[in-house]
A and B are shown apart, each in its own frame.
Chain A
């Protein structure tokens, strides 16, 4: 996955983040590589909405072992993960 695709993926994830949490915010105004977990005071249910949003956006279920705040809050890790899945190179 080239850098252009990674940037597009990051945009999609940021978009999911903003939509699933109903944030009154333009996703393009988020930092380029934000710590998502620390944004918006994410509570436990909000994290669930984010997972649901990601799964709907990318049309597959995230493996249980990936369902951690550390992973879900790390945009770079999410981009790597979805890039691998979408590119057929899932770990």
Chain B
């Protein structure tokens, strides 16, 4: 959570092409497809059906990267055939996620929850009235899970970066016309959110937790300079320690949360609260428990590697 520069990202427009195929694809997604999704629920199914082979074609090199990252992370645990199978699912999971987003922008009516384990963990933690911190990773079904939880009476505050989520655009068209639209779209999908760049971010989270609410923090994105280096799935990365700062200050319960499948086949899992000795000094507290949280979530990824979205992010951070 929240180191703040307060400075906008400055990019040199002159280096950017006018438009790229990738941005054209996003333009089709954000305008005609999104418009169709508003009038027909079949639009998102069509997107998966048509978009998967198209994305597979566009992201051939990405798939090879994902396969290599999987191989690095799992070593001999996965056979070559399994690595191929999992990396082949990556384009489909991606198109399913963006199709889910089209649906979630309009609400949670289309969500089908196949299983929800650990609801009692959440209820017990909320009953203590100290707030609940979901520590999680970027699962493909993460947004669907939060919509589903909200529909059950468990609204979740999302903590995220303000910047565009599909990645910085690589064209002038994308930067000027698509990124603002995508940003508004993402806000409509997520709904209940606070930005790590905001200087009041931690206080907003603190208020929510003190009010007995739920806040979600991702450990697979280094939000700020407050990180601890440690191995995650075969790579050494900076894991943000903000969740533990919050946990120590507020006394809230810390529950690992996992979301698998998609909006129409959601599998939600909330683990029991992680036992924390809050008498430790902050530095020692973070150094002792951050690896514990990471190990729990890493084990969840190992159970179903294709449910975790940012294999490619790992590469950028390695």
Residues of A within 8 A of B (CB): 42-45, 47-49, 51-52, 61, 64-65, 67-69, 72
Cα-based distance from A10 to B131 in the complex (angstroms): 31
The answer to whether B230 has its CB under 8 Å from any CB of chain A is no
Q: Report which of A47, A49, A61, A67 forms a contact with B199, defined as CB distance below 8 A.
A: A47
Cα-based distance from A42 to B203 in the complex (angstroms): 12
A44-B196 in contact (CB<8A): yes
Q: A45-B242, A45-B245, A64-B207 are in contact. Are A69 and B200 (CB under 8 A)?
A: yes
- Give the size category of B's interface with A: 20 to 34
Would you give the 0/1 interface string for B196-210, flagging 1 where the beta carbon is closer than 8 Å to chain A?
Answer: 101111110011001
Cα-based distance from A68 to B201 in the complex (angstroms): 10
Residue of B nearest to A72 (CB): B203
B3-A45 in contact (CB<8A): yes
A-side contacts of B248, CB under 8 Å: 52
Q: A64-B207, A67-B207, A69-B199 are in contact. Are A44 and B249 (CB under 8 A)?
A: no
Query: Among residues 211 to 246 in chain B, which have CB atoms less than 8 Å away from a CB atom of chain A?
Result: 211, 224, 226, 242, 245-246
Residues of B within 8 A of A (CB): 1-4, 196, 198-203, 206-207, 210-211, 224, 226, 242, 245-246, 248-249, 282
Min C-beta distance of B202 to chain A, whole Å: 4
Min C-beta distance of B308 to chain A, whole Å: 26
Min C-beta distance of A32 to chain B, whole Å: 24
A51-B200 in contact (CB<8A): no
B210-A42 in contact (CB<8A): no
A-side contacts of B203, CB under 8 Å: 44, 47-48, 51, 67-69, 72
Residue of B nearest to A68 (CB): B203
B202-A48 in contact (CB<8A): yes
Which among A45, A52, A67 has the greatest number of chain B C-beta atoms within 10 A? A45
B2-A44 in contact (CB<8A): yes
Which among B3, B198, B203, B211 has the greatest number of chain A C-beta atoms within 10 A? B203
A45-B200 in contact (CB<8A): no
A44-B199 in contact (CB<8A): yes
Task: Please list 26 pairs of residues, one from A and one from B, whose beta carbons are closer than 8 Å in the complex, sorted by A's number.
Answer: A42-B199, A43-B4, A43-B199, A44-B199, A44-B201, A44-B202, A45-B3, A45-B202, A45-B242, A45-B245, A47-B200, A47-B203, A48-B1, A48-B203, A48-B245, A48-B246, A48-B249, A64-B207, A65-B207, A67-B206, A67-B207, A67-B210, A68-B200, A68-B203, A69-B199, A69-B200
B-side contacts of A48, CB under 8 Å: 1, 202-203, 206, 245-246, 249
A44-B1 in contact (CB<8A): yes
Q: Report which of A42, A43, A51 forms a contact with B206, defined as CB distance below 8 A.
A: A51
The 8 A-B pairs of least Cβ separation, nearest first, read: A44-B2, A44-B202, A48-B202, A44-B201, A52-B249, A64-B210, A64-B207, A43-B4
Residue of A nearest to B2 (CB): A44
A-side contacts of B198, CB under 8 Å: 44
Min C-beta distance of A42 to chain B, whole Å: 7
B2-A45 in contact (CB<8A): yes
A-side contacts of B201, CB under 8 Å: 44
A-side contacts of B4, CB under 8 Å: 43-44
Min C-beta distance of A23 to chain B, whole Å: 16
Min C-beta distance of B3 to chain A, whole Å: 5
- Given contacts A44-B4, A64-B211, list 15 more A-B pairs with CB under 8 A: A44-B199, A44-B201, A44-B224, A45-B2, A45-B3, A45-B202, A47-B202, A48-B1, A48-B206, A48-B246, A48-B249, A49-B245, A61-B210, A67-B203, A67-B210
B-side contacts of A68, CB under 8 Å: 200, 203
Min C-beta distance of B85 to chain A, whole Å: 41
